Amino acid sequence: MKNNKGFTLTEILLAVMIVGIIGVALAALTTAASREAGVGRSKILLRNNLSIAMRQLRDDIHNSSRVLYVRGRIDSASAGQNIPLLVLAQNIDSNDEVIFDGTTPTYITYCFVTGSRSALPSGAYSEGTIYRNVTNTLPSSLASQSCSGDVFLHNVKYIKPTGSSSDSKYYPVPLFRLSGTDSSYSYDSTSAWKDLGSVLVVKLITERPSTPIVNDVVEETFVLPNGFRVR
């Protein structure tokens, strides 16, 4: 009687099938873990960038003596458009006089350049940039000003307002507005800058066009220093 050692074809095929199933499962698990790790890194990057940017804005507002201009909501925008958001003044009093003799006033302008990548909802753009520009000269007109200076924040998302302020979908960004009003303010010249209030509301969304899309949101309210009102 012969003792036939070895595996049958059926056993070999079954073993190959089991190994294949385990391999596919491990590959899927590895891919999912890698994707989640990438999402986590992107979220941390967005959160860190937002934290650094808001700390800079908080310091600028705290050190300012006047808030000369606030943009309000952005009703419409095109890719690559330059949009001034905020103008702060340091060492200038409410009468536009230098506070300390022998010193020079400083003007800080935050300006937004919309990104070129279309995003959701319809009409939105991602990958925009906010610049922070520091000068000793007050801009005569913000309408014709090009955004320049240091980068304040990357990956900024633009969403135009929809519906009314009571609409749950109403979340225009970036938004630098005064509490109590949601107007789109004129910025054709300094004569059009408004005297509107002393509480500033800032809303920002940063977004990376990954798969899945990763974003982060910040909303903060600032009380303008020393009760100074917007010009």
180 pLDDT more than 60: yes
pTM score: 0.78
Give bridge partners of residue 129 from the DSSP assignment. 113
Predicted local distance difference test score (pLDDT) of residue 97: 78
Predicted local distance difference test score (pLDDT) of residue 192: 46
191 pLDDT more than 50: no
Question: 112-122, pLDDT tens digit by residue?
Answer: 999 999 998 88
Predicted local distance difference test score (pLDDT) of residue 189: 45
212 pLDDT more than 50: yes
As a whole number, mean pLDDT of residues 135-162 equals: 86
- Residue 152 tokens read as 């304040």
Amino acid at 129: T
As a whole number, mean pLDDT of residues 197-220 equals: 87
- Determine the Cα–Cα distance for residues 165 and 188; give it in Å rounded to an integer: 25
As a whole number, mean pLDDT of residues 158-185 equals: 70
1 within some domain: no
24 pLDDT more than 50: yes
Q: How does residue 188 score in pLDDT terms, banded at 50, 70 and 90?
A: very low
Could you give the angle at the alpha carbon of 51 between the alpha carbons of 125 and 162, nearest 5°?
A: 35
Of 57, 45, 35, residue with least CA distance to 216:
45
| H or E element that contains 88 | strand 82-90
Give the residue numbers spanning the domain of 163: 25-227
Of 171, 225, 179, residue with least CA distance to 203:
171
66 within some domain: yes
8 within some domain: no
* DSSP letter assigned to residue 166: T
Are 207 and 157 a contacting pair, CB within 8 Å? yes
43 within some domain: yes
As a whole number, mean pLDDT of residues 61-71 equals: 85
Q: How does residue 36 score in pLDDT terms, banded at 50, 70 and 90?
A: low
How many domains does one find in the chain? 1
18 within some domain: no
* Most confident among 25-29, 39-43, 66-70, 205-209 (mean pLDDT): 205-209
| H or E element that contains 40 | helix 9-62
Predicted local distance difference test score (pLDDT) of residue 115: 95
Distance between start and end Cα atoms, the chain: 107
Between 131 and 97, residue with greater pLDDT? 131
